[in-house]
């Protein structure tokens, strides 16, 4: 199987990032290997629905989660849709393939009071690294920006006059995220401190060696900080993104507004944050006010 034309399609028409394209190629190569070894088929022209189900069983036997299998199925589906559209195939073998069901789980989020306390503690470090670390946590929590979007930011993406930042989201879609004046003030201060370092890159986030911060460095830092919070059932940059959406929704924000802020292509992606039940609100209240005796029913 030759995936060159499909890769060009992903980049040119779908606008997928290099990381996404690499992930798709890995899935396709794994699919090709299983089909060849299990069925003796080397051409996509000979692939049948039964062969695709054999591949899915192979994934299940490796104890890969239904969520991951679903993502891989989506990749293979897109590939065969592409081949059908291009006239390479007359019949799409993916038409009757259904991805395994994924159990919906509540997304973890951080209670606002805990996050405020963490930010207060981080603000005490006035070194360049301290100012940067405080800003990372605050931007992830207060804007809902994705980890990848934050890492891709350049200095010129900050619009001080418009009080917003320009980001490139999934499929390279541009959107503007409004920033609170206090946060924008800290961004300005960080850039002033960055200028003092004489760094030669316009990448917004720098590591301690004054080079663009890597995904691993950002992820490790955020995980370490968030893991210390009492309300954190998971710890990652995405936890803070989830917290932004959940807490903003709980405060009465419109769901479609949150959708636009987070860069979701459909409202269904945003609706997962409506999971905040009365019981969870009670728990948040009691944790934030342990001495309170008020009945909030």
Known catalytic residues are 146, 170, 238, 241, 264, 273
Q: Which residues of 211-239 are buried (b: 16+ CB within 10 A; e: fewer)?
A: ebbeeeebbebbeebbeebebbeebbbbb
Query: What is the pairing mode between strands 174-178 and 158-159?
Result: unpaired
């Amino acid at each position: 199987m030759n995936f060159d034309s499909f890769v060009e399609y992903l980049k040119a028409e779908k606008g997928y990032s290099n990381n996404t394209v690499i992930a798709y190629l890995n899935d396709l190569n794994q699919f090709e290997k299983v089909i060849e070894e299990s069925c003796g088929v080397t051409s996509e022209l000979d692939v049948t629905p039964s062969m695709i189900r054999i591949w899915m069983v192979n994934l299940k036997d490796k104890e890969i989660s239904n969520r991951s299998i679903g993502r891989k199925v989506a990749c293979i589906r897109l590939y065969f849709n592409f081949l059908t559209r291009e006239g390479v195939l007359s019949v799409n073998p993916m038409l009757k393939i259904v991805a395994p069901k994924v159990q919906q789980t509540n997304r973890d989020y951080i209670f606002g009071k805990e996050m405020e306390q963490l930010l207060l503690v981080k603000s005490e470090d006035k070194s360049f690294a301290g100012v940067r670390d405080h800003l990372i946590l605050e931007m992830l929590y207060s804007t809902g920006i994705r980890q990848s979007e934050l890492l891709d930011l350049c200095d010129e993406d900050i619009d001080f006059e418009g009080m917003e930042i320009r980001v490139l989201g999934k499929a390279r879609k541009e959107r503007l995220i409004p920033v609170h004046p206090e946060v924008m003030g800290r961004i300005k201060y960080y850039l002033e401190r960055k200028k003092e370092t004489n760094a030669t890159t316009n990448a917004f986030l720098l590591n301690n060696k004054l080079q663009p911060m890597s995904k691993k460095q950002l992820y490790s830092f955020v995980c370490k900080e968030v893991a210390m919070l009492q309300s954190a059932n998971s710890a990652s940059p995405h936890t803070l993104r989830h917290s932004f959406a959940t807490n903003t929704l709980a405060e009465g924000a419109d769901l479609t507004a949150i959708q636009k802020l987070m860069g979701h292509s459909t409202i269904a992606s945003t609706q997962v944050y409506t999971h905040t039940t009365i019981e969870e609100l009670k728990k948040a209240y009691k944790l934030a006010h342990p001495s309170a005796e008020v009945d909030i029913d």
